[in-house]
Amino acid sequence: MVSNEEKRSPVKIVGIILAAGLSNRFGSSKLSQQVSGLPIVSHVLIAALKSELDRVVLVVNPATRDIAVPQEFLSTEKLIKVENRQPQLGMSSSMKTGLVHVTKETTAALILLGDQPGITCSAIDRMIGASRLHKEKIVIPTIDGRRTTPVLFPARLFPELLSVSGDVGGREVIMRYPEMTIQVELADVYDDSDVDTPEDLEKMRRAALERIG
């Protein structure tokens, strides 16, 4: 008899949302600040859950562990929430916390930043499509030719991602393997603005209001 676990499709491409930062430059927990009626990180979470990602790992810290999951996704098995108990060690510690939860069937991981609410499921799916065509490549998005985040890494580089430290995330690995990178243009489906300061937040809120008005 085949179990429910065996019937499930293998988890191929995982999204890891880094939402455990200490928001030192912002002065308070920036990811819970609202833009267009939702917390910043919720925009990222919704885009990831609506995309073709097979699983989404949301990495939080003790201060952000209560990030609300949108009602429509409360029962989904696609989402795993995990806690980084050492967020002071930087972005790489959150990335490694998320990578611990990939399975042996995982072929790639998309590292998403929790403070980029302009990410869309269309942008994520375009990167997934590129990864399926170029399975051993690092997929880097561009906005009018300028490199940005999130970045998708093939599974063969997971051991190297697990070895980085500090606040560099995957940049160190990208620099080590320039020949493994491909670029995907996303200017038509993605605004990569992020929030580091209260001024960034106000600018983003004004832009959102202008789009509505």
pLDDT in tens, 154-166: 999 999 999 998 8
In DSSP notation, 184-211 reads EE-TTT------SSHHHHHHHHHHHHHH
Does 11-212 carry CATH code 3.90.550.10?
yes
How many Cβ atoms from other residues are within 10 Å of residue 193's Cβ? 15
Structure confidence at residue 70 (pLDDT): 73
What is the rounded average pLDDT for all residues in the chain? Answer: 87
Structure confidence at residue 128 (pLDDT): 98
What residues does each domain of the chain span? 11-212
What number is the average pLDDT over the span 91-104?
93
pLDDT in tens, 20-70: 876 555 545 778 888 888 888 999 999 999 999 999 999 998 777 667 677
